[in-house]
Structure 1
Amino acid sequence: MSGLEERVDDAERSVRRASDNPIVRAVARSGYVASALLRGMIGVLALLLAAHVDGPAPGASGAFGAIAAVPGGVLLLALVAGGNGALFLWLLIQGALVDDGELLERWRQRLVFWGRGAVYGVIGLAAVRFALGAHAVDADARRAASRELLEVPGGQVAVVLVGAVVLIVGASMVWLGASRRFVKTIRLPDDARRRRAVLVLGAIAYVAQGATVLLVGGTLLVAAWTVDATRIGGLDEALADFPSTPFGQALLIAIGVGWILAGLYALVRARIARTA
């Protein structure tokens, strides 16, 4: 065995020892608790939007703004940032430790782990920014930047590609929930009633979040097709016009309840997630 191979093996053994450490596992599980807080806030904000209550818009930025505005909000944001950062590192490690005999399947699993980790990493960085006093980008400035993007050569194509990727992610989440393939990432309880409850809650969580992501992706495609910069954005922009549309209020309520249940599932998952 060459010196390089020995160093690689030593590094992998060190990573596995860290992965098996109970403290490291506990820190990783804290990421799901932080994720639960964020999902629950998004759900509450969607319900407030359905009730025509003025305030922060749904979405990560709106949720962070709402958290920052309450007493102790900066501390909560710091916990969200730390939890998501821990989960980001944990998923990177788990992806690196995937050991499947088939090369394509091994890299498919790694990309799934690392893709999920990237999402938590971005959320953690956003939470840090808000904890340090940053605010959501001004709507006029965002629209100006979006307009410039659509006007540059290839800008519409870029928005279409991003929208397509978002649609694929949303469809994958819906499929995971509907097929219950998410059970591979958790340890189901032995009790039959608790097991059914976890399966139902997890399915609703994945489908609700996936449907919302599909909505964001569809909004981006519409923005590119109509060259409408006001539609480019995240969840906030996708839901902004819902209250004034037919059945929009009912859909907002369904989305809000779905995200609150997703937050509850994240809390449950903090306990039953596979960490080895």
Structure 2
Amino acid sequence: MLRQRLPAAVALCLALYLALAGGRAWAAQPVVLKVVAQEGTEPKYIPAGIGRVVGLCVDLYRAIERTDPGVVFAGDQQWTPALQALSQLASHEHDALCAVQRTDERARQYVFLEPALFQLRYQLIARAGDPATINNWDDVRKLGPQGVILVNRGYTAPGMLERIGGLQVDASATTPAANLQKLIAGKGRFFLHRAPGMQGFIDRAGAAGKVKILPAVMATTQVYMALGTHVDPAVRARVQRAIEQLEKNGELARILQKWA
């Protein structure tokens, strides 16, 4: 009698074990969030040789993965034009973008996670020999047509300067590198760019000694982790908890200091 019932009991135990093991294996599968490396956004993403991207956002993705090993960011070694990356997040072609400025339009397209990752500082870059002393926007306005400010088309800076008003703005270039070359060539008096990472950008562009960063901070803004509206709210909550933990333990500040 025992011999007849034993195989059935063994089979039942084996079935339960396999079911539990299979459940654990399924639960262990990480959530993969697709991202891209945005061109022209140093120090968020910086080219570091053939096929390698480093930078603040790459470090942040790895820090979130260490904090929550069930979340993986994939694609940060693949370059995409910055404006295209923004539109692709809105159309759900990828899932997240790091260090994005929040605007009313973007708030309708993405979900922004608190807390803010860090603060951007906008400063003016001028040619090395420019004698202008700029402390505020009124000093720029006084220059009139001789105070043209170069900004990147499609970024938030043109709208910001329009709201400030009374400034001569050229937003025809789409990348920081293009505007830096325009500045050196005399096709504008200033280039409004953001820190941290401004000096590193200038050095890597081969413009050291040709331009200078003016000390006045002209504006500041916060940047956030942005996720597509299609991302599962439970996954958004996990990423947000990881960011909160990184802020509390000082890792966010350490990453910013490294790339500043």
TM tier relative to shorter chain: under 0.3
The structure with the greater share of residues assigned to helix is 1
